[in-house]
Amino acid sequence: MLAYVIQRVFQSAIVLLVVGLVAFSMFRFVGDPVDNMLGQERTQADIERLRTQLGLDQPFPVQYFKFLQGAAQGNFGVSYRQGRPVSDILMERAPATLELAAVSGFLAISIGIALGVFTAIRRDGFAANAIMSVSLIGVSLPTFLIGILLIYLFSVELGWLPSFGRGDTVKIGGWSTGFLTESGLKALILPSITLGLYQMTLIMRLVRSEMLEVLRQDYIRFARARGLRDRAVNFRHALKNTLVPVITVTGLQLGSIIAFAIITETVFQWPGVGLLFINAIQFVDIPVMAAYLMLISVMFVGINLIVDLLYFAIDPRLRVDRTAAH
Amino acid sequence: MLRSAGFAAVFIATATAGVAEEFTWAGTTDPQTMDPHAVNSAPVLGFLNNVYEGLLRRGKDMRIEPALATSWEPIGAGEGWRFTLRQGVTFHDGSSFDAEDVLFSYERASDESSDTRSWFASVSEVKIVDDYTVDIMTTAPNPIFPDSISNWMMLDAGWAKANDAERPDKDNGNYATLNANGTGAFRVAVREPGLRTVLEPFDGWWDETEHNITRAEFTPIQNPATAVAALLSGDVDFINPVPIQDTARLASNPEVKVVQGIEARVIMLGFPHEAEALKYSAETSDKNPFSDVRVRQAVAHAVNVPAILQTIMRGNAEEVSQLVSPAMRGYSAPLADRPAYDPDKARALLAEAGYADGFSFGLKCPNDRYLNDEAVCQAVTGMLAQVGIKATLDAMPVQNYWPELRADNYDMYLLGWSPGTFDAEHPIRFLASTPNEEKKLGSWNFGGFSNDRVDELLPLIQSEIDDAKRQAMLDESTKILQQEVAYVPLYVEPLVWGAGANIDLTQRSDNFFILRWVTVN
C-alpha cells in the first residue's frame, strides 16, 4: 500500500516538473515583455538592462530553475505588469473562479442528473426527445458563442441580467464573495450556465445511458415483479447503481471546469484567474503565466492522484495483485 | 419566475435612474499603476489625467492651457522657462500645492527609476524662486518644453515622503502604485487592479466644474463583443474603442451614439534602408531593391490608400502625407498631398530601377497592435502584387513583432507612430534620425534611414525659439523625408468611441478620456 502511494506521488511530481519545463520553453514564443514595460521612449540600453534585470537573457532551463527555487519557498515572483507579488494577485482572483466553478458544477450535476433520469424513464416521450435534441447544442456549440448568445438575449434584448463582471462583492477575511449581494447572484447566472452547459449535457447523457443499461438488468425486473412501486425501483435500485461511473467522470470534470473557465471568464469579463492568465499572455507577464500553469497542473495532477488512490482503495483486485507481486 | 425576475430588474433600473450622474465606462486596458511617474503609457497617463494635474494641460482642441501654473515665459534667450504657480490649490488629502511639490515632482519624474525621465533630458536644473515661482533651466533653448510636459503630473512631496513613495517603483510597487493623491477634478475612491477603479469628484478642486458626475467607475473589458453588449444593455455608459465593424450597427441604434475622430497615430510602411540584401526573397537575395529611391516611390504610388480607408476602415480614417497628422504642432501644410495612386507610374518607376519583372520580398506586420493592422497589410500585399512586387505577409502579435524588427528580420514593415509631444519634431527624432544610442536618436528607426541634412536640422529645430523659422526647418525636413520616401505614410488611425445617447462628452485626439467634460443627461 505505502509503496504504491509513494510511487504515485513520485510520478505526479515528475509530471509537474515536466509541465513546468514545457511551459518555460514555450514562454519565449509568447514574445518579449520589455517593449511593453518600457514604452515609446526606450533606448537599446534600457532594453538590455531590463532583460538582464528580469533574467530574460538567460537560457530557459536557468529561468525555470530560478522559478522552481522561488516556488519551493512559496514565492512566485512579481508580476511584470502590475508590479505586485503574483501570489497576492492569484489570491485576489481565485475566489471569483472558484465560486463560478462551484455554481457551474452544482448546476451541471443537479440538472444533469435530473434530466438524465427523466429522459431515461420517459425514453420515448416527446419531452425527453426534445431535451435530448436541445442537449446537442450544449455539446456542439463552442462556449464563447453560447456566452455571447446568452448576453445578447438576457442582457441586451431583455435587460434582465448584467452583461459582464461579478456585481458587488462582500469581503469575508481574504475571500471576496458574490453570494451575499443581489447583483453578485445575478451576475453569476449567465456565466455559470455558460461554463456548466457542456458538463451538464455530458452528465445528462451519461446518466441516461447508464440508467437505460441498469433498467434492463435482471434485478430491476425482479424488483418490478415483486410489485415495488416505480419510484422505489427507479430511484432506490436503478439510480444508485447508475451513479458509480457518474461520480468518477464528474470528479475528473471538476478540474476542467476550473481550467476551461478561461473562455467563459473572457466573454463575461469575469475577474477570475482565467482572465488574469489571458491578460498575462497579452502582456507577456511570465511570472503570472508560470504561476497559473503550475497551479492548474497541480490541481489536475492532484485530482488524478486522488482518483488513483481511490481506485486502489475500492478495487480489491489491484491490492491483491500488488501484494502478491512484492 | 422569470417574469418576476424581469419585474425586479425593471424596478431596479427605474430605482437607479434617479441618480443618473453615476457614470460607468470601459476600456480595453486597465491602467497598470496609479503612479503618474512610473510608466509612460497612454492607458496610464490618460486615466491619471482625471486624478492628477500638471503645470499645464491640454484643452479640448489639444492646445496647452494653464493648469497648476497660471503662466509661463522663456527666460532670457532660451536658458529655460519660468512658471508662475496657481495659488490656493490643494491636493486631495488637503495639503497645499507649492513650488516644493514642483521640485519634488521633477526629481521624482526624472529619476532613473521613472519611465518619464526622457521628458527632462534637456533640463539642467529646477530652481525655486519663491513659493509660487519656479525656473526650469535647460541645457539648450527648448521652445516646445511646455508642450512636452503636459503629462508631467504633480505629486505632493509630503504625501510621498510620509508613505515611503519618494521614487516610483515599477518592479515591486509601493504606496503610490495603488493610491493616488493629486489635485485633479476626481479622486480615487476604490482601486482594485484589473477589476475596477472608482472615482469621485474632488470638492476642493480649483477650477470650475463642467461635469455633473457624482461617481464614476472604470472597468477594463478586453473582449470587444462583451464591451459592445455592455454598452447596448446599458451596463456601461461609454466604451473605447468600438470595433470598426460594429460602428455602423451602433450608429443606427437610437439608444447609443458613436463619436468618431482621428487619433494622433500615423500608420506607415517602413523599409530596410541599410540592409545589403533582401532576407525573404525567392530570387533577389544578393541586393536590396528598397535602397533605390525609385522602388520606394513605386511602393508609395502602388498603394491605394483611399480604397483601404473605404473598405477596411469603413471611411473612419484620413490619409496622410507625412509622419504627423494635421492636428499636430509643426505639421507641414504645404506638403499635405500624398503620392497619388498610380499603378502605371509605379510600374514605370520599377522598370527604370531595373525591376521591370518585379521581385519578391517579405512584409512583416503586427496583428493586434493597430486597428485592423493585418487586414491593411493584406490589402497592401494585394496592391503591390498588381505592380509586380510580390510580398509574403507574415503577421504576428506585437510582443513578437518588436523583437523581429529589432533583429532586422523584415524586408518591409508596418509601423504606427503617435508623437508623445504632439509635435512634428518627435517622429524626426525617433524615426528619421540616424540611429545614435548615445544621443538617444533614431531609437525606432529600425531600417536605419540616414540623411545628413535631416540630422543637421534636428538640433536646430529643437532649439529654435522663433516659430516661423522653426516651421521652415520642419518643412524642409518633411520635404526631404517625402522626396527620399524614408517611409510611406498611409493614414491617421481613427478614434471610434461609443456612448449612451444621454451622454455628452468631448473626444480629444490623443485618445484620452477626460471625465470632467462628461455630462450625463
Q: State the Cα–Cα distance between residues B286 and B118, nearest whole angstrom.
A: 40
For residue A151, the chain B residues in CB contact (below 8 A) are 226, 229, 233
Side chain identity at residue A187, one-letter code: A
Q: Which residues contact A149 (CB under 8 A, 6 or more apart)?
A: none
For residue A148, the chain B residues in CB contact (below 8 A) are 225-226, 229
Give the nearest chain B residue to A268 (CA atoms): B226
**CB-closest option in B173, B229, B430 to A163:** B229
Can you give the pLDDT at residue A320? 54
Q: Which three cell numbers stand for residue B295?
A: 522602388
Q: Any idea how long chain A is?
A: 326
pLDDT of B4 strictly over 60: no
Out of A41-45, A52-56, A292-296, A316-320, which region has the weakest mean confidence (pLDDT)?
A316-320
pLDDT of B107 strictly over 50: yes
Distances in Å between the alpha carbon of B178 and those of A41, B220, B499?
A: 24, 16, 28
Distances in Å between the alpha carbon of B467 and those of B100, B175, B463?
A: 32, 43, 11
Residue B419 host element (H or E): none
For residue B41, the chain A residues in CB contact (below 8 A) are 39
Q: State the Cα–Cα distance between residues B324 and B421, nearest whole angstrom.
A: 11
Strands B412-417 and B487-500: unpaired
Side chain identity at residue A286, one-letter code: I
Note whether B39 contacts A39, CB cutoff 8 Å. yes
Say which residue, B13 or B111, is predicted with more confidence. B111
Task: Please say whether the beta carbons of A307 and A248 come within 8 A.
Answer: yes
Can you give the pLDDT at residue A67? 87
For residue B118, the chain A residues in CB contact (below 8 A) are 41
Q: What is the mean pLDDT of residues B192-203?
A: 92
pLDDT of A86 strictly over 70: yes
Residue of B177, B179, B443 to mutate, testing the A interface (most A Cβ within 10 Å of its Cβ): B443
Can you give the pLDDT at residue A317? 63
Distances in Å between the alpha carbon of B130 and those of B99, B110, B133, B398?
A: 7, 22, 5, 48
pLDDT of B286 strictly over 90: no
Residue A125 host element (H or E): none
Q: Name the minimum distance, in Å, from the CA of A314 to any CA of chain B.
A: 44
pLDDT of B446 strictly over 90: yes
Query: pLDDT, tens digit, for every residue of A24-69?
Result: 888 878 888 888 788 777 888 888 888 888 888 888 888 888 888 8
For residue B169, the chain A residues in CB contact (below 8 A) are 83
Q: Does B114 touch chain A (CB under 8 A)?
A: no
Cα dihedral A95, A101, A104, A109, rounded to 10, equals: -130
Q: State the Cα–Cα distance between residues A31 and A34, nearest whole angstrom.
A: 9
Q: Which residues of B350-360 are buried (b: 16+ CB within 10 A; e: fewer)?
A: beebebeebbb
Can you give the pLDDT at residue A318? 60
Can you give the pLDDT at residue B456? 95
Which B residues 81-110 touch A at CB under 8 Å? Answer: none
Query: pLDDT, tens digit, for every residue of B465-489?
Result: 888 999 999 999 999 999 999 999 9
For residue B230, the chain A residues in CB contact (below 8 A) are 155, 163-164, 269
- Identify the band that residue A253 occupies on the pLDDT scale cut at 50, 70 and 90: confident
Q: Does B226 touch chain A (CB under 8 A)?
A: yes
For residue B33, the chain A residues in CB contact (below 8 A) are 82-83
Distances in Å between the alpha carbon of B223 and those of A153, B26, B36, B242?
A: 18, 11, 27, 11
- pTM, two decimals, is 0.84
Residue of B175, B235, B439, B446 to mutate, testing the A interface (most A Cβ within 10 Å of its Cβ): B235
Q: What is the mean pLDDT of residues A280-309?
A: 86
For residue A268, the chain B residues in CB contact (below 8 A) are 226
For residue B232, the chain A residues in CB contact (below 8 A) are 156
Average pLDDT over chain B reads 90
Can you give the pLDDT at residue B458? 94
Q: Does B4 touch chain A (CB under 8 A)?
A: no
- Identify the band that residue B135 occupies on the pLDDT scale cut at 50, 70 and 90: very high
Q: State the Cα–Cα distance between residues A110 and A131, nearest whole angstrom.
A: 15
Q: What is the mean pLDDT of residues B221-225?
A: 89
For residue A277, the chain B residues in CB contact (below 8 A) are none
Note whether A159 contacts B226, CB cutoff 8 Å. no
Note whether A31 contacts B403, CB cutoff 8 Å. yes
- Identify the band that residue B8 occupies on the pLDDT scale cut at 50, 70 and 90: very low
Note whether B233 contacts A159, CB cutoff 8 Å. yes
Can you give the pLDDT at residue A33? 85
Order the strands of the B123-130 sheet from edge to edge: B69-75, B80-85, B133-138, B123-130
Helix/strand/coil for A66: helix
**CB-closest option in A31, A32, A267 to B223:** A267
Q: Name the minimum distance, in Å, from the CA of B37 to any CA of chain A.
A: 12
Task: Please say whether the beta carbons of A286 and A27 come within 8 A.
Answer: yes
Q: Does B252 touch chain A (CB under 8 A)?
A: no
**CB-closest option in B115, B221, B420 to A164:** B221
pLDDT of A73 strictly over 80: yes
Q: What is the mean pLDDT of residues B281-308?
A: 92
**CB-closest option in A152, A160, A164 to B6:** A160
Can you give the pLDDT at residue A315? 63
- Identify the band that residue B13 occupies on the pLDDT scale cut at 50, 70 and 90: very low
Q: What is the mean pLDDT of residues B132-143?
A: 92
pLDDT of A7 strictly over 90: no
Q: Does B190 touch chain A (CB under 8 A)?
A: no
For residue A292, the chain B residues in CB contact (below 8 A) are none
Residue of A87, A92, A269, A281 to mutate, testing the B interface (most B Cβ within 10 Å of its Cβ): A269
Beta-ladder partners of B64: B58
Can you give the pLDDT at residue B10? 40
Sign of CA dihedral B101, B107, B109, B110: positive
For residue A276, the chain B residues in CB contact (below 8 A) are 194
Q: What is the mean pLDDT of residues B185-212?
A: 93
Can you give the pLDDT at residue A133? 85
Q: What is the mean pLDDT of residues A170-185?
A: 85
- Identify the band that residue A319 occupies on the pLDDT scale cut at 50, 70 and 90: low
Q: Which residues of A37-57 are buried (b: 16+ CB within 10 A; e: fewer)?
A: bbbbbbbeebbeebeeebebe
Note whether A156 contacts B229, CB cutoff 8 Å. yes
Can you give the pLDDT at residue A250? 78
Q: Name the minimum distance, in Å, from the CA of A253 to any CA of chain B.
A: 26
Q: Which three cell numbers stand for residue B31?
A: 491602467
For A137-182, give the DSSP string. HHHHS-HHHHHHHHIIIIIIIS--S-SSS----EEETTEEESTTSH
Beta-ladder partners of B73: B82
With a pLDDT cut of 90, the percent of chain A lying above it is 13
Angle at B346 between CA B344 and CA B348, to 5 degrees: 70
Which B residues 346-405 touch A at CB under 8 Å? Answer: 368, 397-403
Query: pLDDT, tens digit, for every residue of B306-354?
Result: 999 999 988 888 999 999 999 888 999 999 999 999 999 999 999 999 9
Q: Which three cell numbers stand for residue A14?
A: 515528475
Q: What is the mean pLDDT of residues A274-279?
A: 91
**CB-closest option in B10, B171, B235 to A164:** B235
- Identify the band that residue B500 occupies on the pLDDT scale cut at 50, 70 and 90: very high
Distances in Å between the alpha carbon of B500 and those of A313, B9, B380?
A: 61, 19, 36
With a pLDDT cut of 90, the percent of chain B lying above it is 71
- Identify the band that residue B18 occupies on the pLDDT scale cut at 50, 70 and 90: very low
Beta-ladder partners of B58: B64
- Identify the band that residue B186 occupies on the pLDDT scale cut at 50, 70 and 90: very high
Note whether B219 contacts A29, CB cutoff 8 Å. no
Q: Does B115 touch chain A (CB under 8 A)?
A: yes
Give the nearest chain A residue to B8 (CA atoms): A160
Note whether B171 contacts A83, CB cutoff 8 Å. yes
pLDDT of B379 strictly over 90: yes
Q: What is the mean pLDDT of residues B71-99?
A: 93
Backbone phi and psi for residue B357, each to the nearest 5 degrees, phi listed first? -90, 5
Give the nearest chain A residue to B34 (CA atoms): A82
Query: pLDDT, tens digit, for every residue of A124-155?
Result: 888 888 888 888 877 888 888 889 899 999 98
Q: Which three cell numbers stand for residue A243?
A: 451513479
Helix/strand/coil for B190: strand
Task: Please say whether the beta carbons of B454 and B278 come within 8 A.
Answer: no
Query: pLDDT, tens digit, for every residue of A279-289?
Result: 898 888 989 99
Note whether B219 contacts A165, CB cutoff 8 Å. yes
Widest pairwise Cα distance in chain A: 87
Which B residues 424-483 touch A at CB under 8 Å? Answer: 430, 437, 440, 443-444
Helix/strand/coil for B450: coil
**CB-closest option in A37, A41, A267 to B226:** A267
Can you give the pLDDT at residue A125? 82
